[in-house]
Structure formats: C-alpha cells, structure tokens
Chain A
Amino acid sequence: MIFKKLSALSTIACMLLSTAAGAGEIWVTNEKDDTVSVIDTDTLEVIQTYETGERPRGITFSKDFSRVYICASDSDAVQVIDPNTGKILHDLPSGEDPEQFVLHPDDTHLYIANEDDAITTVVNTQTRKVVAQIDVGVEPEGMAVSPDGKIAITTSETTNMAHWINTETQELFANTLVDSRPRHAEFAKDGAEMWVSSEIGGTLTIFDTANQSEKAKISFEVQGVHQDRVQPVGFEFTNGDTHAFVALGPSNHIAVVNAETFEVEDYILVGRRVWHMAFNADKSQLFTTNGVSGDVTVIDVASRKALKSIKVGRFPWGAAFRPSP
C-alpha cells in the first residue's frame, strides 16, 4: 500500500513539475521505419506515429511551429508536414541526399547539406525555389546558422572542414580544419563561439566566430569503453549556454561539458548509438535518440540522471521540440 501511495505521490510530483515546465512534444525521425514518432513530454509516451518519405533524418520546426521540415534523404527531398495532422503538404527541392539542414532566423531560408553532391543548397521555403547552391567539401553534413543570421556553417565529413558561408552573398568566406569526420555544428554564446563535433576524431572543436580561430578542443574518455567507440555527434546547449550535452555515439553515453571551462563534468548512460537530441520547453529534460536500441532516453538535466527510455521506431535519428498545440 505504502509503495502505491509513494509511487502515486512521485507521479503527481512529476506531473506537476512537467506541467510547470510546459507541455510539449518531441518529434523523432526513425531512419529505418520511414516514420516520425511523437512523444508527449508530460506522459513520456509515444502518442502518434506518422509516415514520411524514405530515410528521414534531419528535422526542424518553423518559428510558429505550424510546419515541420524533414530531410527524407533517400527520397531526395525535404518534406513539409502539417504537425497537427501529420499530413505531408509538399516537398521542397533539396538537392540529392539531404541529411541535415538548418532554418535561417528569417524563418524562410533552409540551408541543406547534400551529402552525395558536396554542396549546400539554400531553399526559399515560401517560393519553394532553390536560391543558391554552394560548393563545399566532400560529404557535407553538419549545418548551423548564427543567431544574427549572417553566417551559415557546413561541416564536410571527408574533407574534415567547417565551411563558413556569408548568407548575404551565399559564398564561402573561410574554411577551417577540424578533426576527422565532423558531424554537427552549433553556435553558442550569442554567436561568439562556434562548436563542431568530430565523430572519428573523438573531439569537439570550439572556434572564435570573430576570427574563425580555434579557441579550445575537448576530448572524451568514458570509463570502461574503448576509445574507438567514443564518437561525438549531436550536441545541444542548456539555458544560458552554460553546459553542452554531447551524444557520444556507440559509447552509449552523453557527456556533460562545462561551456566556460571546456571540461567534461559527467557522463550519462543512455541507449545504444546515441545520435542527436532535443530539449523540452524549459530545457529541464533532454531527449536523446538511440539508433541501435531504437529508443529515446529522457534525461533530467538538473540531476544529470537518465529517467526513462521510450521505445520508438527503428533507428531513431533526429529530434525536435514543439509546444503542445
């Protein structure tokens, strides 16, 4: 009896906390199921599964959350979906094999990495026209855009570079070397820093945006895991950009990095081959996509503890948050 009461109490406490945090949904692309799973951030359960094009990977919402964009890599399209109905509204011309993309702060231009063509395609989501195609390194993947919208970044997996794009001229203005197979890029601290993860190199490189110079490099070491399996991929910043949570791929851990000292403070065990992640509304919980185990692990950001792993489709890849409609 006492177990049930305590259990009920903790459930109520969790519900109150999550209601305070703001209800919402985490959308997860399932690479091998050609679907997207929708997780309720209150109940931590899958509430909906929608079909998509082939091999969905990158996912992001429009500013007002009325549209969700999904890279359907093997369909060679970026699909635009109505998140309220799950209906595919139309495709955008994306170039071949789109893997990741980023929506410009103007809410109109999508910067898309075309892995097979070594180009970055810029698409106007209103006119559905290609605005520009920019030659970058071989196998572009990671995409980021600065908060002021002036700089876009493409990382190329084989060339091992971060390519800096002037979004006014849609031309490269700098190329910086990073460690082997750069996967993901993000701007931090109001655009003052640009971070790139290198999967094979096993590092995070931090650049000073003002002069594109390397500011710091972070390595990882997970106890009991061979170094070859420690492969940083997706990462996100907590409120105020004080910490970065970094997915370490087949090491099945998330690293917590202090963004001031660039020290790794913690490692959190999650599912197998953790790839990307998304926060809930107030960034109190983090949802990580675990490709091989086919689930999403929910992490309590304050205590840095994994709370629950939720089964989704096969090979979950990307994740994005939207408030409940």
Chain B
Amino acid sequence: MSPYLTSLLAIVKREALRFIHQRERFIAALVRPLVWLLVFAAGFRAALGLSIIPPYQTYITYETYIVPGLCGMILLFNGMQSSLSLVYDREMGSMKLLLTSPLPRWWLLFCKLVGSTAISVLQVYTFLAIAAAFGITMPLFGYLTALPALVVAGIMLGALGLLLSSFIKQLENFAGVMNFVIFPMFFLSSALYPLWKMAESSVLLYTICAVNPFTHAVELIRFALYLSFNGSALGWVILATLVFTLAALWGYNPARSGAGKRG
C-alpha cells in the first residue's frame, strides 16, 4: 500500500477512534444545533416573517429556514474542535511525531482535514435525521445532493481550523477562538436570518455578512438541500479554502511555526 494511502487511512482511523471514544463530544455537538432548532426557532417563528427567496419556492417556517445554517454550525464547531485537538496534540507531542513523518507536510494536514470532515458530515446527517423525526424535512433527493456541499464546506472550515491551530500556541487561547472566530462567523452570516433582512437594519452588517465565507458555505448547503446549485457560493467557498489552506501550510512551515522551533 502506498505510504500516502497508509497515512491517510491511519489519520482518518485515529479521528474515527477519537470520535467513537468521545461519545459525549458527539452528543454535545448535536445538542447545540438541536437546542437552536427546537427551542430558539420555536420562539422566533412568529417574530420573524420570511418572504420567498431562492432556493425556496413557497413559504417556509423559521425552523426550516435555519436547518442549513445549523448544518453549517456543526461543521464550523467541528472545524474549530479539530483545531483544538491539533493544539492539544502539539502540546502532548503526538502532533510533533506525526509531522516528523517523511511524507510531505501538506499531505499530512490534508489527511487530518479529510478525517475531521468525514466525522463532521456524519454528525450533520445525524442532525438532519433528528430534525426529520421532528417533522422538519427537506426534499428526499436533497439529502443526497447536499453531500458534496457538506464535504466542500467541511473542508473549508477544517482548513480554517488548521490555520488557527498553526497560530494558537496554547490550549488556553482557544477561548479566544470562540469569541473572535466562531461567534462572529456564525452570527454575521445567513445562518439565522436572510441577508435581505440584515440589510434592512444595517448595510454595513449586510456587507460583512455578504463577504463572510461561512455565509457562502451555508448558502451552498441550503441550495444543495433543495436540489439547486449556487455557483457563486461554491466559488467563494473554494477561494476561501485555498486561502485558508495556503495560510495554514505557511503557518505549519517548520522554519516559522512554533512546533518546528520546539522540535
């Protein structure tokens, strides 16, 4: 077996094992979006009126609107969780061991990305199944067409996690990620409210939302769930993935990174 494939399988297996052994993490990752869906959305369904916007062809409840955003939320938190685990690995030394492998660094990071995205996508489908059990359903084919969108969005957010992990030197700093990355990214996006509604209150906020890569990840998932293709969202997501990946590779450069220096 090619050493590339061996390393890919090994890293994905390690991610899967970590996932299986941390059931609490899996449940916690599901509870968060479910609370939003079943509590927050129920409270706001009467307050927030939605007009018909693509890809929807008719009126939808608020619960239905936020499902793609909550799928994005799972991917976002998992991407960040993955970055947290990288920081932990680096502190504990296992990351150092991994990076001393003769395989190219970019390949190792790519394997890590694939592993964490696979776990994220699995969690998204579990969330969609629970939502369906509560009567919040998408078109049947939509669950299939959403897969590539979820993978692309998952890789983008995973790449962002990698980038952050290359700059965070200590585990304690992760709280900063929550405050300065996750919350702004999530709330300044189309996950919870359509952008036209944001434009009504502030054009500046609308502009920030419109350039937020997370908005485009959510829209890509939203359109895919409704059997539609959003080319511009895909373009934005691919561009952001490239930028985050290249920056992460630069961040993990042994000549620059803390890991390299300590190693």
The residues of A with any CB-CB pair to B shorter than 8 Å are 2-4, 6-7, 10, 224-225, 252, 269-271, 293, 297-298, 306-309
Contacts and interface: CB of A to CB of B under 8 A. Distances in A.
A7 B57 contact: no
Contacts of A309: 52, 57-59
Contacts of A308: 57-58
B58 A297 contact: yes
Given A3-B224, A224-B46, A269 B57 contact: no
A297 B45 CA distance: 20
Interface of B: 42, 45-46, 52, 57-61, 139, 141, 144-145, 148, 224, 227-229
Nearest to B140: A10
A306 B145 contact: no
Contacts of A271: 59
A2 B59 contact: no
Contact of B59 (A7, A10, A225, A297): A297
Contacts of B227: 3, 6-7, 10
A307 B57 contact: yes
Contacts of A297: 58-59
Contacts of A6: 141, 144-145, 227
B59 A252 contact: yes
B69 to A, nearest CB: 19
Q: From DSSP, what is the main secondary structure of chain B's interface residues? A: loop
A271 B139 CA distance: 20
A138 B258 CA distance: 86
A271 B51 CA distance: 9
Given A3-B227, A224-B42, A224-B46, A10 B141 contact: yes
A269 B145 contact: no
B229 A4 contact: yes
B145 A3 contact: yes
Contacts of A3: 145, 224, 227-229
Contacts of B46: 224-225
Q: From DSSP, what is the main secondary structure of chain A's interface residues? A: mixed
Contact of B58 (A4, A7, A307): A307
A306 B59 contact: yes
A69 B141 CA distance: 42
B52 A269 contact: no
A270 B144 CA distance: 27
Given A7-B228, A10-B227, A225-B46, A2 B57 contact: no
11 contacts: A2-B145, A6-B145, A6-B227, A269-B61, A270-B59, A293-B59, A298-B58, A307-B58, A308-B58, A309-B58, A309-B59
A307 B52 CA distance: 12
Contacts of B141: 6, 10
A270 B61 CA distance: 10
A157 B128 CA distance: 47
Closest 3 CB pairs of A and B: A3-B229, A308-B57, A309-B58
Given A7-B228, A269-B60, A269-B61, 16 more contacts: A3-B145, A3-B227, A3-B229, A7-B227, A7-B229, A10-B227, A224-B45, A224-B46, A269-B59, A270-B58, A270-B59, A297-B58, A297-B59, A306-B58, A307-B58, A309-B52
Nearest to B44: A224
A7 B45 CA distance: 29
A307 B227 CA distance: 13
Nearest to B52: A309
Contacts of A306: 58-59
Contacts of A307: 57-58
Nearest to B227: A7
Contacts of A225: 46
A224 B60 CA distance: 14
A247 to B, nearest CB: 14
A284 B228 CA distance: 25
B92 to A, nearest CB: 41
Nearest to B62: A224
Contacts of B224: 3
Nearest to B139: A10
B147 to A, nearest CB: 10
A307 B57 CA distance: 7
Contacts of B57: 307-309
A252 to B, nearest CB: 7
